[in-house]
Structure formats: structure tokens, C-alpha cells
Amino acid sequence: MSLVIRKAKRKDAKAFLGLVRALAKFEKLDPPTPAAARRLIRDTVSAKKLSLLLAFSDDKAVAYALYFFTYSSFLARPTLYLEDIFVLEEFRGKKIGKKMFLNLVREAKRLECGRMEWAVLKWNKNATRFYEHLGAKRLEQWQYYRLDRKGIESLADQKID
């Protein structure tokens, strides 16, 4: 099996969206709507708001890693935030995920990031084992919060007294 990992190009949009749909199915979530898919492609390959690595096995897209950068005021360095890393089920166990993750680690080192962060679903024990085996530590003292689109719209309309 030959494997090529590289930054995504515009021509990869359809393959990338196929992988995103496969991830949605794996996580038992609805896939992006057509409008969301267009925004995802725009923000990834046109506007470059997000960065995307794709892994190809014999010219077939088999994995992706979607990431972007935040910033740590205390470290005064960027943080590489890994939004998604996904490998098609039939390609798992071939160290593709590890190779992609190490590509991101090297990118974080090259850009002098102070840290890398990501979230893992509690039920995804394979991912938890994968990251902990690599030396990642689960943050016990932090809780993630989310304000969804409906909450944003509702809160944005509130008046401050």
C-alpha cells in the first residue's frame, strides 16, 4: 500500500467531503448540508481559514486532518487545534492516523506552537487509547462549553442593562 499525505488542493473537495460524510456516519451525526459543505470547502481551500491534510492510498482519499490555530496568551505562542482526524474504517490499523498526527506534530514544531489541543468523544475508546499511547494527557481541570448557532443568535439579540 502506497501512502501519500499532503495539504489539500481545490481538486480534492469532493474526496474531502466524502470523508466528512463518513465521519458523520461513524459519529452518528447528520452530515453537512449542501450549504455547509460549500462553506467548508470555501473556508478550507479558498479562504484558508482552516488547514487540511489528506492521506491517499493508491490515489484514493482515505483519511483527513482538519486543523486551525488559536493562541495562548500565557505561552505567547500559537496553539494547533485539531478539529478532526479521521481514517476510513477499512484503512484503520495501518498507522495512517499516526502518520497524519505526526505530520501535525511536526507542523506545530515548525510553527513554534506552545501546544496542540483537540477534543475526543467520551465513547471513542480507540481514539482515547491512541492519543494516550502517544503521550497526550487528558485535561481533567478543563470543561469544554459550546454555544450553538441558535444560542448565538438568541444571545446576540439580548440587550445589556
Cβ atoms < 10 Å from Cβ of 105: 14
Active-site choice (64, 131, 144, 145): 131
Beta bridge partners of 12: none
Q: Is 67 designated active site?
A: no
Give, to the nearest 10 degrees, the angle between helix 34-41 and helix 13-26.
Answer: 120
Catalytic annotation, residues = 131
